[in-house]
Structure 1
Amino acid sequence: MKYTGFPRWSRLDNAAKIFPSNSSAKDSKVFRFFCELREPVDPQILQSALDETVRQFPFYCSVMKRGLFWNYLEDSSLRPTVSPESTPPCLALYSPNRKSLLFRVFYYGRRINLEIYHVLTDGTGAMQFLCTLVYRYLLEKHSEEFSEPLPKLAYTASHSQLWDDSFQKYYEKPPLPKPVLRRSAYRLRGERLPEHRLSIVEGHMPVDALLDCSRARGATVTELLTAVLIRAIHAQMRLRDNARPVVITVPVNLRNYFPSESARNFFTTIHVGYDFSRQPDDLDAVTAHVHRCFRENLTEKRLHERINALCFLEHNIPLRLVPLLLKDRILHTAAQLADRQTTASFSNVGKITMPAEIERYIHLFGAFTSPDKIQASVCSFQNRYVISFAGPFRSHDVERAFFRSLVQMGIDVEIAANLPYVE
């Protein structure tokens, strides 16, 4: 696909604006989505599939540039090339000193890996891209197996819908937002891996077993797993640490509440805190508390208020005129203050579906990110649930306690890891 004439450009969406000023070697704001097939990847066919996929998602070939007041995305003639995986996961994709795409595609054995800078999209948008890439790859790889009409992906948004900034679509000028004051959260400690490397621990388990356990407690799978994570963190805390709450940040896909086909960022977060100095430690009590927090925060009204609050500063004329260099410092300080109010993150990408005709070629999907603290990312495909922990610490005590809790509930868990050292 060739671009002619003066390059088009677009503003970063509201969520993307904070990432450039807070990206670093230890927190690159890059996340990985992967698909594991049931056969080795053919790199030539994968390249062909990638060429077709970027024609459907042309804005993925944008580069980020710095303006006087904001960063922005500009169309480029750069095209992605697939390559074998040869570097640690989630290395930085953006550098102000070079012109480069904000995503890359690797392969390793049976896995197709998509790494993407959070400025470009969120988890839902990235998974849409990966599913399209895998779909096109498998149609070409096994073309002799498919007859007309070819199987169709459920996701068929237009280019304009894919590039829609849904934050602006649903923003309404609100009254001056009230500041939300939160206590400083408990923060995990421990020896970190050298060179800002990540340790990845995956847990594979059956979906139906998780559903049975969550339904037995009157909760969703996300609520139950958030509660299990809170207790796994508490198991590593010293007695005096109970003075601070364990706070989990949970990203929320706003497309589930406000109609949108956007493949850009369209998410917010909620905070689920638990104070072990005042509340009991048993799983049922923690799960019930998490359930209440989700029900209170996950309403259209509360989320619309959140959209308005997030966009308020962006639409404040005096602040819009602040030079980008100063904005970067302000956003960096704000992010550091917010970071003190969270312990870990839990992100549920949701259920991944593909056309039935090609599902037999796919083993699983998964995801993880590059956090400065522990983050669990989960998704399901068919009857397989994949929970991936990513973190900078040498110790895996939290992950071990988390998966042991699931085993104690009667759930079969298969563990895989890329440990960069032997404990």
Structure 2
Amino acid sequence: MADRLAFLEDIYGEAASAHESRYRAALDAFVQAYGPGPVHIFRAPGRVNLIGEHTDYNQGYVMPVALDRDVLFLARPRPDALIRLVNVEDGFPPRSFTISPRIPSGQRGDWSNYVRGPAQELARRLPAITGMDCLVNGAPPLGVPRGAGLSSSSALTVAAAVALAHFAGWAWQGNEMARLCAEAEWYVGTRGGVMDHFIALLAQRGHALFLDCRPDAAGRLHYEPIPLPGGFRLLVVNSGVHHANVRGEFNQRVAACRAGVALLRRHWPGIHALRDVEGVDWAALEPHLPEAVTLAALMAQGLDLGDLPNVPPDAPLRVRACCRHVWTENHRVRQAVAAMKAGDVDRLAHLLDEAHASARDDYRISTPELDALVEAAREVPGVRGARLTGAGWGGCVISLVPAQQVQRFETHVQERYRTVTGRQAEIFPCQAGPGAGLAGVVRDS
């Protein structure tokens, strides 16, 4: 490997040689777009959530993993405030804009908004933000696939923020940068949490990240890297199913969890989230949680449900089942941390399987296609757990697969899924990669 790309081994380990041609192609494209000279190469990874689904907005626990598939962000500082963007993939036309505390957005859905957002947020915080000439490469097979629930958009946001901060001389801290990136994505109209940005920024190779989604008094989130089992690959299987118009279903689950907390607060005063009763037996909680109740009925009882999303007043909220999922999922995340620290892969596998059953039966966010993938994965000898990952209603399944069984897994799952559903699954063998940052500087591009 050429000396100028020797840094790839620090990032990708044994897989470094597979990435070399990708980096070279990106450098060539950058020079073609902007001319020769030094180039800074930044990167930010995609992610999957190993366990802890729909717990983040309930102030619970999650355990995401950064993938060794990433977005490359090549940049060269400019003497002005102009940002110029090109993308190696088709369908992403060149864009340019000027940095300011109020940057006009591109068209709705325009890819440049994921760079405009962090540029605007940093301009509001730092006195000296310089412009950049930039090239983005998130293309498969080694980039972050779009539309697969692997947070390709958050990876672009994080990569752009890290580049801008570097040229501004800001030595960022994880909590502050994660919040900045989350707020930067509000620019494009999504009000998500900070999990995707936290793992993209703070990941360690070979580790998951146990993250407590309740901020402390100073607004910080606490986290701990947890080593993944050795000898296994994390396989991400994309179902190819993406159900539209599920925002209403999602909002009803948010409302159901808030209703559960409000009802339990009558008996356990002072609680703010389901995690606050994690030390209480579920059998003691269940009688206070109705199987189904409408928002109108809850409001008639004078319950304070806070700032609820748009939920029809007559929509039935499955309070008991939704709360049971979150309550048990928080326990599963904690137990998964203990199992991984102890090297108990069988226990971890059991928890992953339980998590899928809970997401399917209590939270009802699975689909026949996701269930088919989970069943197919479990049929492969040696597989340790399989479950849906992400918001649900489509997207991906993850499995822990012995390294020597990866090819067998891919063949069996592809064939079985095609037989059962008539669809083609896309499979990504992954390893836990490092967090975002400056990969290296090439001075003779």
Q: TM-score, normalised by structure 1?
A: 0.28
| Larger relative helix fraction | 2
Larger radius of gyration: 2
